[in-house]
Amino acid sequence: MSGPFQGINSASTALRAFQRAMDTIGHNMANVNTRGYSRQTVEMQTLDPSSFWSYGREAIGSGVAVSSISRARASYLDMRYQTANSDLGRGNALSTGLSRIEQVYNEPGDLGIANALDQFFNGWSGLASNPADQAARLNLRNAAQTLTDRIRTSYSDLEQVEGTIQQEINNAFDSVDALSEQIARLNDQIRASSAMGEMPNDLMDQRDLAISDLSRIVNITTTQHGDGSTSVYLSNSPLVSQAEYHPVPRTYNAANGTLTGGTVDIPLRNGELSGHFQALSRITSARADLDALANNLRSQVNSVHMTGINADGNTNVRFFNDAAPQTGAADFALDPAILSSLDAIATGVTGAAGDGGLALSLSNLRETNISALGDRTFSGFYRDAVGSISQDASYYKGLTTTYEQVALQVENQIQSVSGVSLDDEMADLMRYQRSYQAAARVLTVLDEVAEDLVNLIR
């Protein structure tokens, strides 16, 4: 029931409530630059009234108390951001990988394979015009060596890019496991705090940030549970359950974009890991294109050159080395006989010094459509391979820019809900400061009244 000290109790509860509000505002302002922090707000409620008798039963308020301190968070925006973040992660990884492949080709330019192919066939054309000219033979051999060097170097560079992406894939696996373990640990802490009736806002922020970072690497979905924990799934395969985390399977098929866990294939539809897989698949394709170019140059040129008779009177001489295990672009090189003597180069089928018919036939290979290359010329096949990479690199670079804008837009929406505004916090701080001062003044007055009452009784 109401007593003479009712007002003092009401004023003191108000002081405590306003102090908690100012503490929360201070916490918000301190974390204005903290990544992933959500603005916290204090919710207040009136305390149960006290009843008293005055010409009938009456009730009088007994003050205010903090009912909760909650996060400003919109779950639907979090889900949108996870999707946008996954799109951005895949776009960035794929765009970067394609750009690396494009840089390997170094086209167009004087230092690329396309220019070396032109110089190679030009060398045969020049030799056909001057079969006995040693300078023309030297020019051809130099052009052929440049061509083989550039094809081998490009193939080696693609292998280095492949190794880099494979390391990035391993790093992505490590990051997925580390983030999953962090989410599981935060689940335990949040569950324990919730069981004690606490609202672990900061722990929830840390978990949401970890989930956001995880969505950048792989496409995920989440499920909230009543005990405060969150489960995380990768294409219906659990990464984090209520009680523990599950290491991500590391057996993968880059061409199919899948992980294999036991007997189950887990498709990757988005995220950095998916982008790395796509880039790795394109590198495999690019290496296969260089192999096809080298193998067909080797077989087509050798099949013609071996029919000729060189200045030494020898026939059946290869121009490019195809002795076992010479295969593909990795070991594309001139035959040792060509490297050791310019006279080993055949220009005709008669052996006569002025016979340049064979050299002319080899020069005409420039315009010959090769069935094994999809009925395209050597230059046409290589140009299409490079053009495909270049077009895709340009396309995904533009698409990634779009993904960045979408992710930024959603992030700005999240900030409008969850971000800390120093101006707003200062306004709230002044409001609660004035409320605190008013409550303190009420408490002072009531304390003086109570003291007068006690003195009166004495």
How would DSSP label each residue in 350-412? S--TT--HHHHHHHHGGGPPBGGGTSB-HHHHHHHHHHHHHHHHHHHHHHHHHHHHHHHHHHH
Span 367-377, mean pLDDT? 94
Asked, for residue 160, whether it belongs to a domain, the answer is yes
Span 245-270, mean pLDDT? 90
Residue 232's φ and ψ, nearest 5 degrees, are -125, 135
Asked, for residue 1, whether it belongs to a domain, the answer is no
Pair (290, 424) in one structural domain = no
Residue 113 pLDDT > 50: yes
**Domains identified in the chain, total number:** 2
Pair (312, 453) in one structural domain = no
Asked, for residue 430, whether it belongs to a domain, the answer is yes
Span 435-442, mean pLDDT? 90
Pair (49, 120) in one structural domain = no
Asked, for residue 287, whether it belongs to a domain, the answer is yes
Q: What's the token pair of residue 117? A: 């192919």
Pair (363, 262) in one structural domain = yes
Residue 257 pLDDT > 70: yes
Asked, for residue 450, whether it belongs to a domain, the answer is yes
Pair (296, 436) in one structural domain = no
Pair (25, 55) in one structural domain = yes
Asked, for residue 432, whether it belongs to a domain, the answer is yes
Span 262-268, mean pLDDT? 86
Mean pLDDT, rounded, of the chain: 91
Asked, for residue 355, whether it belongs to a domain, the answer is yes
Last residue of a domain, which of 403, 418, 433? 418
Pair (425, 409) in one structural domain = no
**CA-to-CA distance for 404 and 397, rounded, in angstroms?**
11
Asked, for residue 139, whether it belongs to a domain, the answer is yes
* pLDDT for the residue 48: 78
Pair (63, 145) in one structural domain = no
Residue 2, exposed/middle/buried by CB under 10 A (0-12, 13-18, 19+)?
A: middle
* pLDDT for the residue 180: 96
Q: What's the token pair of residue 178? A: 């580390």
Pair (426, 412) in one structural domain = no
Pair (99, 19) in one structural domain = no
Span 100-104, mean pLDDT? 93
Pair (171, 274) in one structural domain = yes
Pair (83, 127) in one structural domain = yes
Domain residues for the domain of 59 are 6-72+419-457
Residue 1 pLDDT > 50: no
pTM: predicted TM-score of the whole model, two decimal places: 0.87
Span 371-382, mean pLDDT? 94
